Amino acid sequence: MNPLVKPIFQPAPLAIGERPGKVTFHKIKSKTRCEFFIYVPLSVRPNAPILVAVHGITRNAADQAFRFRTLAEENGVVVIAPLFEQKYFKQYQQLNGPQYQNSDRALLKIVKAVGKKISCKTDKLHLFGFSGGGQFAHRFAMAHPERVASVLMGAPGWYTFPEADKSYPYGLRRSPDLGKRSLVAKEFLKIKYDVVVGTEDTQRDASLRQSLKIDRDQGLTRIERGRRWVDAMNQACERFGYMPRNSFRLLSGVNHSFASFFESSRLGAIVFESLGLERVAPPDLSTRRVDGPGGGKTCETISLTDVSSRV
């Protein structure tokens, strides 16, 4: 480098939590790639809850953080939106990857770093994930149930079922993809899981995992697969003597688009209500029963007439 040429000024990176009320981006020095967006509310209080919002294959982590920031401010919630770049986390949805690049390891490191800078509740996380992020969310909860308070998934493509006779990531039986992790049904079934899918989310396109095995065991669409998984989880709860609390909801007029999920502020409120993050009264939701494989016990449709079905 020519010593006579002055380098372009680069601002010093922000410390975590340095700008409350703003969405900021951070990287953590680690063998594991740790990048994330964070929103720390101006109204943050000691031991504030953490909402982890996980992107789908579009990797729109910043969009997740920005769309949640208003509700986070109103309810005093810290939002962490991890960024799992494709170069390093090709299969972040299944938690696995090359050495040191496991997505669950990355999230745990991020949360630890945030907890050192901000007074927030790092021991129990509230997870939201859309599409591939929903896959990550429920598998993270299965692998680390002691770290999870609640889970809401928006239209995952496919699932890990609570079945010991199927190998991970299809079931709980140990496989190379599982690594050193253990999926203990008795523990992860204590968590409440909610699944929401749009009524227009019926496309079998390139973004939906398709195979003879998955189509046969889980269904042909995200709607069918979500219903079957929730029913399977509730049945597993009953076998362990737990009260079945997991739910499946259809969102009227919504397709497979993260933007369409959040074009109504009421829908954002559903996320906070489901995860137990609200400090205010929940919205008045109009619901009706939908028959499903489980007799309609865990299915309901939420009418959101002002939500567009456009991508």
> Is pLDDT of 201 > 80?
yes
Grade residue 142 by pLDDT with cuts at 50, 70 and 90. very high
Q: What is the overall mean pLDDT for the chain?
A: 85
Structural domain contains residue 292: yes
The predicted pLDDT at position 296 comes to: 41
Structural domain contains residue 278: yes
Grade residue 274 by pLDDT with cuts at 50, 70 and 90. very high
**Average pLDDT value for residue range 59-68:** 95
Structural domain contains residue 308: no
For residues 67 and 44, which has the higher predicted lDDT (pLDDT)? 67
> Is pLDDT of 61 > 90?
yes
Q: What's the pTM value of the predicted model, to 2 decimals? A: 0.85
pLDDT digit string (tens) for 23-45?
999 999 888 899 999 999 998 88
Strand order of the sheet with strand 192-198?
A: 23-28, 34-39, 78-82, 50-54, 125-130, 148-154, 192-198, 247-251, 299-302, 287-289
Structural domain contains residue 9: no
**Average pLDDT value for residue range 250-255:** 90
Structural domain contains residue 36: yes
Grade residue 12 by pLDDT with cuts at 50, 70 and 90. low
CA dihedral 276, 282, 284, 288 (to 10 degrees): 10
Structural domain contains residue 310: no
Grade residue 13 by pLDDT with cuts at 50, 70 and 90. low
User: Bridge partners of 26?
Assistant: 36
User: How many beta carbons lie within 10 A of that of residue 17, not counting itself?
Assistant: 18
**Average pLDDT value for residue range 219-241:** 97
With beta carbons less than 8 A apart as the criterion, state whether 195 and 263 touch: no
Give kind and range of the element (H or E) at residue 23: strand 23-28
Q: 123-137 burial string, b = 16+ CB within 10 Å, else e?
A: eebbbbbbbbbbbbb
**Average pLDDT value for residue range 60-78:** 95
Q: How far apart are CA 168 and CA 203, in angstroms?
A: 26
Give kind and range of the element (H or E) at residue 53: strand 50-54
The predicted pLDDT at position 297 comes to: 42
Please report, rounded to a whole number, the percentage of residues in the chain having pLDDT higher than 70: 84
CATH code at position 63? 3.40.50.1820
User: Which of the residue ranges 32-46, 118-132, 257-271 would you say has the lowest mean pLDDT?
Assistant: 257-271
Structural domain contains residue 202: yes
Give the total number of structural domains in the chain.
Answer: 1
> Is pLDDT of 178 > 60?
yes
Contacts of residue 199, defined as CB under 8 A and 6 or more positions apart, other chains included, come to 223, 250, 251, 252, 253, 254, 301
pLDDT digit string (tens) for 75-124?
999 999 999 999 999 999 999 877 678 999 999 999 999 999 998 999 99
Q: Which residue segment(s) compose the domain that 169 sits in?
A: 23-302
**Average pLDDT value for residue range 223-235:** 98
3-state helix, strand, coil in the chain (%, to 5): 30, 20, 50
> Is pLDDT of 9 > 50?
no
Q: How far apart are CA 15 and CA 101, in angstroms?
A: 23
**Average pLDDT value for residue range 47-68:** 95
Q: How far apart are CA 225 and CA 202, in angstroms?
A: 11
Structural domain contains residue 10: no
